[in-house]
Amino acid sequence: MESDGLAAINNVGYDVKSSLVAVELAARFDKYFATVGIHPHDAKTAKESDYALFEKLVKENDKVVAIGEIGLDFHYDLSPREDQERVFVDQLRLAHSLHMPTVVHLREAYGVMTRLLKENEKYLEYGVLLHCYSGSKELVKEYEKYDLYYSFGGAITFKNAVDKPDVVRACPLDRILLETDCPYMTPVPFRCTTNEPARIGLVADRISDILGLDRHHTETVTYNNTKRFFARMQEYPI
């Protein structure tokens, strides 16, 4: 792992089963962390007892560093939109009650997300990470009033990502994180193969190009941002 330039890995759940696997991996491997939650695709399956389980996982295991992926996906609409909204807000409030940040998946639902963030502003104080951010630079500006972070993955290396450089540059440098979102979003030149954490360097290279930073600076800044955002990681020597 270190030979790939990785300090730590955060496995992010998308339902109960995958969240439990993430927690199990974090218990087994030193530098693995876990994020637990229900993805908007799975919102229709969410139950009250799932939230109780996430609460227990957060309280019993300090390697659980966030609630996620939660959010809205109106591109695939795999769960009814009203379920997505309800389950997103439920988990936003759950995260707040546990003093935890959230990892948010947001696709083609920017208007509704803006409304929900506004309505739930008091639940955002422990931080919200918009992962694989695909919104506009104008939205970054609009969201300045909230405690939001933005993470970028392999998609910023794709040739069709024409407006992405401007979006990355619109994000404050102290709010940018890197991710792989593996097994998806494999960066160029490895597209169409399974993505893995070791590919993060290609994302760091692209961010460095866009921001005109040397690679080491990008690594330092995004590492520090990651530890600030996922506050529980600070208790571990990574």
Q: By the criterion CB under 5 A, which residues form the site for Zn ion?
A: 105
Side chain identity at 122, as an amino acid letter? K
Q: Nearest approach, Cβ of 167 to Zn ion (angstroms)?
A: 17
Q: Nearest approach, Cβ of 174 to Zn ion (angstroms)?
A: 23
| Rounded to 5°, angle at Cα 149 from 143 and 153 | 120
> Can you say whether the dihedral through the CA atoms of 134, 140, 143, 145 is positive or negative?
positive
- Return the number of the residue (63 or 105) whose C-beta is nearest Zn ion: 105
- Return the number of the residue (153 or 219) whose C-beta is nearest Zn ion: 153
**Residue sitting closest to Zn ion (CB):** 105
Q: Mind giving me the DSSP string for the chain?
A: -GGGT-S-EEEE-SSHHHHHHHHHHHHHSTTEEEEE---GGGGGG--HHHHHHHHHHHHH-TTEEEEEEEEEETTT--S-HHHHHHHHHHHHHHHHHTT--EEEEEES-HHHHHHHHHHTGGG-TT-EEEET--S-HHHHHHGGGS-EEEEE-GGGGSTT-TTHHHHHHHS-GGGEEE---TTS-PPTTSTTS---GGGHHHHHHHHHHHHT--HHHHHHHHHHHHHHHSGGGGGS--
Q: Nearest approach, Cβ of 131 to Zn ion (angstroms)?
A: 6
Q: Nearest approach, Cβ of 59 to Zn ion (angstroms)?
A: 25
- Return the number of the residue (134 or 218) whose C-beta is nearest Zn ion: 134
What is the rounded distance in angstroms from the CA atom of residue 221 to the CA atom of residue 74?
A: 32
User: In this structure, are residues 67 and 95 in contact, taking their beta carbons and an 8 Å threshold?
Assistant: yes
Q: Nearest approach, Cβ of 74 to Zn ion (angstroms)?
A: 13
- Return the number of the residue (75 or 191) whose C-beta is nearest Zn ion: 75
- Return the number of the residue (26 or 129) whose C-beta is nearest Zn ion: 129
Q: Nearest approach, Cβ of 213 to Zn ion (angstroms)?
A: 26
Q: Nearest approach, Cβ of 60 to Zn ion (angstroms)?
A: 26
- Return the number of the residue (194 or 220) whose C-beta is nearest Zn ion: 194
- Return the number of the residue (17 or 56) whose C-beta is nearest Zn ion: 17
